[in-house]
Amino acid sequence: MENVAHTLTGLALARAGLGRTTPLATSALVLGANLPDIDLLWSLGGELAYLEYHRGWTHSLLGGMVGTVALWATLLGIGSRHRRWGEVRAGALLLASAAGVWSHILLDASNAYGLRPFLPWDGRWVYGDVWHIVDPWLWLLLGTAIFISGRGGRGRVGAWIAAASGITLVVVVLPIPIVAPGTRVTWMVGLAIALALARRRAGARGAAFAPRIALATVVVYAAGCAILHAAAVARLDALSPGDAAARAAIPRFGDPVRWDGLIADRRSVRHRIVGSFAALDSPASETRVFPRNLDDPRVVPLLDSCAGEVVRGFFRYPFAVVDVDPSGDGRVVVRDARFSRNSDGFASVTVPVALGVPDLRALACP
C-alpha cells in the first residue's frame, strides 16, 4: 500500500489504545508502519532499480523481525537518555514496534503488487490480490476514526478538511479512467457519513472506541474483498473451462466488486473486467487479447539483458509490444499486464530499435 494508508493504520492502532501502553509507543507504531519502505533509499536508481529492490528483504519475514528489533532498540535507547517522556516500558515498546512493522507487511501482502516473504532464501512473490495498492476506503475509514478521536483547534480541522478535499478532488472530480462512476457516488455518500460523525465530539471513552471500530471494519472489509476475489477467480475459471492458463483477478481502484481478470498462456494474455458475480459485470467489458511476443527475435535481446532479469523477477504477466516500421526502426516494450496493458506506464521497459537491432544502451541497469 502507499504510505498514507500505512501511516493512518499506525495512528489508528495508537489511538485504539496501543499508544498509551508506554511512552514512545505512538512513535513506534507510526514509524514501524512505514519502516519497511526504507528500501526506497536504495531503489531510487531508476525504474529497473525500483522494481528490483523495492519490497525486497525489508518486507520479508526475516526483515520484519530485524526491523522490529532495530526500531525497538533505537527508541528504547532514546527513551533511556531522555526521561522527559517518562519511564519507557521495554515489553510494551517491543509490542508497539512489532504491531507497526507487521501492519505494513500485512497490508503490502494484501494487494496485487505483492512481496517476497522468504528472502533472502527464496525470491518468490506472494500476492494477496485483495484490494488495490491505493484504496480510498482505507483512507475514509481510518481517517474518519483518527479525526474523531483526536483533539486540536482550527489548524487541525483545517488540515483535515484540506486533505479530504484533495482526495475528493482526485476520486470524484478529476476524469481519471480507473475511477468507476459507482466509486465516485459511494465516496460522496461515505464522506457525508464521515462528516456527520465528525461533528460529534468523542469523550475519553470514545477516543479509543472509534479507531477500534474502524480497525475492526477494515478487517471485515478485507475478508469481504477476499470472498469477492475468490468469486471473481471462480468466474474466470468458468469463462475458460479446461484451460490450463494462469489466472488472476486484479483489484481495481475503489471497486471491490469488479476486477481486472487476466488469463495468460504461452502465447497471449487475455483481459476483461469481470464482476464477482455475473450481474456485476461491466456492460462495456470485452475480452482483449495481448500477444506475448516473448520469443520475437527483436525482444529476446532485451530479455537476455539485465532488464530481462528484472522482468523475470518482477513481472507477473509479461508481454511485449513490437512497434517497428518496415525499415527496422522503432521500439520494443515489455509490459506487465497487471499495470500497463494499454500504455507505457508503471512496470514497462522500453528500448529503441534501429535496423531491427535493439539498442540496449538505453537501459539503466540496477
pLDDT in tens, the chain (366 residues): 899 999 999 999 999 999 999 999 999 999 999 999 999 988 877 888 888 999 999 999 999 999 999 999 999 998 877 766 568 899 999 999 999 999 999 999 999 999 999 999 999 999 999 999 999 999 989 988 888 887 666 666 777 778 778 888 878 776 666 777 778 888 888 888 887 777 665 555 557 888 999 999 999 999 999 999 999 999 888 877 666 678 899 999 989 999 999 999 889 999 999 999 888 887 667 889 999 999 999 899 999 988 889 899 999 999 999 988 888 888 899 999 999 888 888 889 888 888 778 877 777 776
Boundary residue ending a domain (268, 291, 314) = 291
Boundary residue ending a domain (238, 271, 291) = 291
Boundary residue ending a domain (291, 317, 342) = 291
Helix axes 25-32, 90-109, angle to 10 degrees: 20
Q: Are residues 142 and 94 in the same domain?
A: no
**pTM (2 decimals)?**
0.90
Q: Spell out the long-range contacts of 312-316 with Cβ–Cβ below 8 A and sequence spacing 24 or more.
A: 313/51, 313/52, 313/123, 314/51, 314/52, 314/125, 314/347, 315/347, 316/114, 316/125, 316/127, 316/248
Q: Are residues 54 and 7 in the same domain?
A: yes
Closest CA to 141 of 11, 228, 34: 11
Number of domains in the chain: 3
CA-to-CA distance for 125 and 122, rounded, in angstroms?
A: 9
Amino acid identity of 267?
R
First to last CA, the chain: 23
Q: Are residues 220 and 351 in the same domain?
A: no
Element (H, E) at 291: strand 288-291
Domain ranges, residue 300: 293-362
Q: Are residues 198 and 284 in the same domain?
A: yes
Residue 364's alpha-carbon distances to 26, 190, 228, 272, 314, in angstroms, are 40, 44, 40, 33, 16
Q: Are residues 254 and 271 in the same domain?
A: yes
Q: Are residues 136 and 282 in the same domain?
A: yes
Which residues on neighbouring strands pair with residue 322, listed in sequence order? Answer: 332
